[in-house]
Structure 1
Amino acid sequence: MARRTLILTTMTTTAALLLTACGGGGKTDGIKGADKGSSSPSASATTGGSGPDVSVPKDLNLVFDFTKPSNAQQAAALADAENYIRALKHGIVKQDPNDPAYQYYSGGQAAQYAKSQIQAWVKGGWTATGTDKYYAANVTPMTGGKRVLVSFCRNQAKFYGKEIKTGKILYTKESLSSYEKFSLLMFPPSGSAGAWKAQVAEVVGKAKECQS
């Protein structure tokens, strides 16, 4: 089975909410893969501070080719948007749909979305391997200055599913389906400590704008 057929769930609730929150929207597809920990391989990466462990195995390389915003609030929102992706991948490799990592970095629809993705991998008997690259990040503060919309591209051409029982890697060829566009609506911590949380996750498949 090809890696791009692994995720079986499609979320359909995000477009209207994003339209209301930030004037944008679009078709919502399922996240098709696993996330890695940083711009280089790391089997023990954590978020720092009191955040949960979001490490992944060395054969799963999560690359975030982002430019850090000069604004501290926007930089924090982008960092925890990365951590949301890392946490989702951590749940996949741990095979735990109730993994506390993604719950720490998300709530609402975004948490439901992460859980559905993990459940699909668990049901299929797959874990993740290869390189999963995220790039071209854009951080946009919403009206009122509290919520932040983080969007970025994904190239999963070298990201593959792997059968847990056999260890067989499900290789696929690069195509337009390798490219996705993410939009995460991030909410700030409720107090002086804690993480920014993704409350809405929208993923548009076959994103031509990300194919370059």
Structure 2
Amino acid sequence: MARRALSVTVVTFTATAALLLAGCGGGGDDSSPDDIKGADSGASSPSTSASVPASAGQPDLSLPSDLKVQFDVTAPSDAKHAAALDNAKNYILALNHGITAQDAEDPAYLFYSLGNATKYAKEQIQAYLDGDWTATGTDSYYKTRTDAVGTSDGVLVTMCRDQSKFYGKNVKTNKIKYTKPSLDDYQEFRLLMKPPQASQKIWKVLQIEVQGRVKECQR
């Protein structure tokens, strides 16, 4: 997550989105390491710092006081797209929760993901654990977009990410690894959202694709 001497796993879409959404919840397992450091119109919401406590039937998404996850988003007018976007945001919060909780089996990301999105989150958290890192600073997401996926009920959520103020912190020494701002800080996230099923009840992230060094996301 934070730009440092760890790696990010990029999970790519390995089949058409419609075909994946028609399945029972799994994606392919294609992944590769990558070194780092539609929109419906609606009312714009201000940049907010999210740290969400557990509510009935949902996992704890709270974060430590030194970590902020900010979403500067436009709420889609379509109710399905709005629900898909909300849980795409919850997945990102859950990923950060797992990192700060230092738990590669954290129930938060398991609740909001399926298939390759589950694999991606687990690998990200495990990379932090292996290096004795946690996260601190501000993780920012903006320029969100939602698009219908073919003739299915799925939704593709796209958003930019700025991690220029998002850092790794050693859990043993509490030393923060500060990085110099660069194009490496800007990514584009594409999250393939699967609509609620009888056993799921909520939108879940089925697949995730992360593109690094995205100039269009610079601000």
TM-score (norm 1): 0.85
Q: CA deviation at 1:51?
A: 1.3
Letter in 2 for 1:16: T
Aligned residue pairs, count: 197
Q: CA deviation at 1:6?
A: 4.0
Q: CA deviation at 1:41?
A: 5.6
Higher strand share: 2
> CA offsets, 1:31-90, max 9 Å, x none?
979xxxx82264xx2364421111110110100001110111000000000000000010
Q: CA deviation at 1:16?
A: 3.2
1:39 aligned partner: 48
Matches within 5 A, 1:21-40: 21=17, 39-40=48-49
- Which secondary structure does the structure 2 equivalent of 1:199 belong to? strand
Q: List alignment gaps of at least 5 residues for structure 1.
A: none
Task: Output the CA distance in 2 between the equivalents of 1:190 and 1:113.
Answer: 22
Q: List alignment gaps of at least 5 residues for structure 2.
A: 19-30, 38-46
Task: Output the CA distance in 2 between the equivalents of 1:140 and 1:46.
Answer: 29
- Which secondary structure does the structure 1 equivalent of 2:116 belong to? helix
- Which secondary structure does the structure 1 equivalent of 2:192 belong to? strand
Task: Output the CA distance in 1 between the equivalents of 2:175 and 2:157.
Answer: 35
Q: Structure 1 pair 51/187, CA: closer, same or farther in 2 (3 Å)?
A: same
1:14 aligned partner: 12
Q: Contact 2:103–2:125 (CA<8 Å) still a contact in 1?
A: yes
Q: CA deviation at 1:135?
A: 0.2
Between the two proteins, what is the percent identity of the paired residues? 49
Matches within 5 A, 1:188-199: 188-191=195-198, 194-199=201-206
TM-score (norm 2): 0.83
Task: Output the CA distance in 1 between the equivalents of 2:90 and 2:50.
Answer: 15
2:174 aligned partner: 167
